Structure 1
Amino acid sequence: MELANAVEGVVDKRKLSRNAELKAALIGDEYAQLAATQYMARAAFETLPKWMREAVEAVATGRGMYKGTLVGRSAARVHGMWMLPWAPFAHEVTLPSGKRPAGSKALRGAVYRWSPLRDDEKEKLHGVEVTDAVRTCIDIARYYGFVEGLVAMDWVLAAGKATREQLLEAAAKMGRFRNKAVVLRAIACAVSGSDSALESWFRAELIERGVGGWRFQAQIGPFRADFLFDEILVVEIDGRSKTRDKANEVLRAERDRERWMLRQGHPVMRYYYEDLRDHLDRVLAEIGDARRRGHAAGGASAASGASGASGASGAGRKVE
């Protein structure tokens, strides 16, 4: 279901003065309260995937405000921007005054940001005011750091919302602000060729941890490897939950692809969403062990010929 369709089910209690029956029903268990005046049928809401529930709640928060703008993770959800699925979600808003309302006027559970915005940094989506995609990804980087910022910026570039030059221009227009160096680093490392938030997150972690000697989306014959280490080891990132969620034809295609790469001298390691979310250190240790075995078996000469792809300067470059 598209977000536009999901938010059609959000009911504004303030507009129900002539519908006493529905207004009374909102008090019971049949409806979930998403914001002070915003409700949705519980059965419909609970069947939505987690990211869409958060997006619907963000829209409801925006609709429940008389004035103000959704920023940060709330704005990102409304845009459909890539985010880390396990990152704690927050209803982030900013008011023209830049202050948090006093007492009961404050939205329950909302994070109020002091975030002066120009008119060209805001737009309307699904009936609520949000920061535009460029300002949103910049805010994600400055509020939550390089890794989460890079994921958001990869989405902006991949979705064609902006170019790297436009991101740099937007950051420059904001003048001085906290964590600007983090924002500029994320912009420098962002690429347009990522296929998923998980790929972007893994790439960001490699950069952040100083792991070099790899290329992203490297072309190998007719195939493209998610990550190619030392010009030898292929690492594939799969967002699906292990093999149980895959159709047989998908599994066969993956196995045929991996057999072809192995015949060309490229062993393949595949990792899934749960592997990276729950055991990232172990995954990186396994990759490190495999790289050392490759060098011991004679792969060092191949890796030394790929010095241009190692270190921070080569990390994350997309191969066309």
Structure 2
Amino acid sequence: MPKAPRRPPQLRGRIFRGSVAVSRGLLTRNDLRSSAWRPLFRDVYADAQLRVTHRHRCTAAARWLLPSGAAIAGRSAAVLLGVTGVPADEPIDVLVHHRRLVGGGQPAAGQRRGPAVGLRVHHGDLAPEDVIDQAGVPVTSAERTCWDLARWCDVVEAVVVIDALLAGRVTEIPTLRDYALARAGQRGWRALLRAVDLADPGAGSPQESRTRVRLVLAGLPRPETQWVVTADGRFVARLDLAWPQFKVAVEYDGLWHNDADQFHRDRRRLNQLLGGEWIVLHLTARRLREDFPGFLAEVRAALHRRGHRSRA
């Protein structure tokens, strides 16, 4: 039988520097190559039995790779501020001052060092007030995070994260608008204003955010989020996106529809809406990805049928 990999108790369930573990005699270099350990960054390893999240990787990068004055930023900062859904293996967004290095230490004379593998490094000015401490990790503030997202991402993906930060009450639309206006003339301030104007704290999921923003960018009137329908004072349904004046709604069919009971309950309540003369259009992940123009045409036709007239 093959020999089981060494798993010292001091390292179980932990993230650690490989060189430190070797210097202390806990592991050898060959041990680090075994299936017991997972490399995260250069010389940074995790117990393979640990479910490593994006937050874990952010913390490890901040502890061992970031130079002084740098901060976790962008989508990674949003994770540390409470946003979920960012894949564990997505590169860590890092913001550093110009001419600083990432990866630890200064290069020797005549040598050049690139960014550490697993990091997405951005360079720019970083004011002290734009950095907060999250359990010992330097993270860009919610407002700076939104500004960076508006500069680094397309508007749809920026709004997805801004929606989540608003829903988590980490920041507010007036605060973000003031932040952008205070930086008028700097690169990205208009992009942040645009993203804020499209944002909505009522979004129930990233896919709902993507759907809403793409519909609005296509010229449709802005829908209400999480619209509650009642009949005779009784709750009937909560709709993902709705144009109540036209009684047209969009429901995003997410992964939870794998739950047959939930699917049944959802369809029953939507039948009540159809009986109440609502038009409810369903959007799946596949259609959002592969046939959004076709779905857009259906929504446009439904709104037109109910009396909406697009502006010339």
If the TM-score is normalised by the length of the shorter chain, which range does it land in?
0.7 to 0.9
Instruction: Give the TM-score taking structure 1 as reference length.
Output: 0.76
Amino acid in structure 2 at the alignment position of 1:233: V
Q: CA deviation at 1:19?
A: 3.9
Please tell me whether residue 195 in structure 1 is matched to residue 204 in structure 2: yes
In 2, the alpha carbon distance for the partners of 1:36 and 1:271 equals 42
Structure 2 residue 198 is the aligned partner of structure 1 residue 179 = no
| Residues matched between the structures, number | 281
Q: Which has the higher contact order (CA 8 A, sep 6+)?
A: 1
Question: Partner of 1:73: helix, strand, or coil?
Answer: helix
Find the counterpart in structure 1 of residue 74 from structure 2. 72
- Where does the alignment leave 5 or more consecutive residues of structure 2 unmatched? 1-12
Partner of 1:41 in structure 2? 47
Higher mean displacement: 125-134 or 146-155? 125-134
Determine which structure has the larger helix proportion and give its number.
Answer: 1
For 1:44, what is the secondary structure of its paired residue? coil
Which shifted more, 260-269 or 276-285?
276-285
Task: Identify the residue that residue 259 of structure 2 maps to in structure 1.
Answer: 246
Alignment of 1:55-134 (within 5 A): 55-67=55-67, 68-81=70-83, 89-100=90-101, 103-104=112-113, 106-125=115-134, 127-134=136-143
Question: For 1:81-118, what per-residue CA distance to the aligned partner results, in whole angstroms no more than 9, with x for missing partners?
Answer: 26687xx9433223344545662363125332222222
**CA shift digits 1:160-208 (9 cap, x unpaired):** 1112222123334445322321111111222222221111111111222
Matched, 1:231 2:284: no
Q: TM-score, normalised by structure 2?
A: 0.77
Match of 1:255 in 2: 267
RMSD over aligned CA atoms reads 2.9
Question: Secondary structure, in 3 states, of the residue corresponding to 2:113?
Answer: helix
Please state if 1:216 is matched with 2:225: yes
CA contact under 8 A between 1:214 and 1:231: conserved in structure 2? Answer: no
| CA deviation after TM superposition for structure 1 residue 270, in Å | 2.1
Partner AA of 1:134 in structure 2: E
Q: Secondary structure at the match of 2:159?
A: helix
Rg larger in structure:
2
Equivalent position amino acid for 2:248 in 1: L
Identity rate, percent: 24
| Distance of 2:275 and 2:100 partners within structure 1 | 62
* Residue 263 (structure 1) shift: 1.0
Amino acid at match of 1:246: D
Cα–Cα, structure 1 residues 165 and 212, in superposed 2: closer, same or farther, change >3 Å? closer
Q: Once the 2 structures are TM-superposed, how far is the Cα of residue 239 of structure 1 from its aligned partner?
A: 2.7
CA distance in 2 between partners of 1:115 and 1:151 (Å): 24
CA distance in 2, matches of 1:181, 1:175: 8
Query: What's the CA shift for 1:144?
Result: 0.8
Amino acid across the alignment from 1:200:
S
Consecutive unaligned residues in structure 1, runs of 5 or more: 1-7, 305-309, 312-320
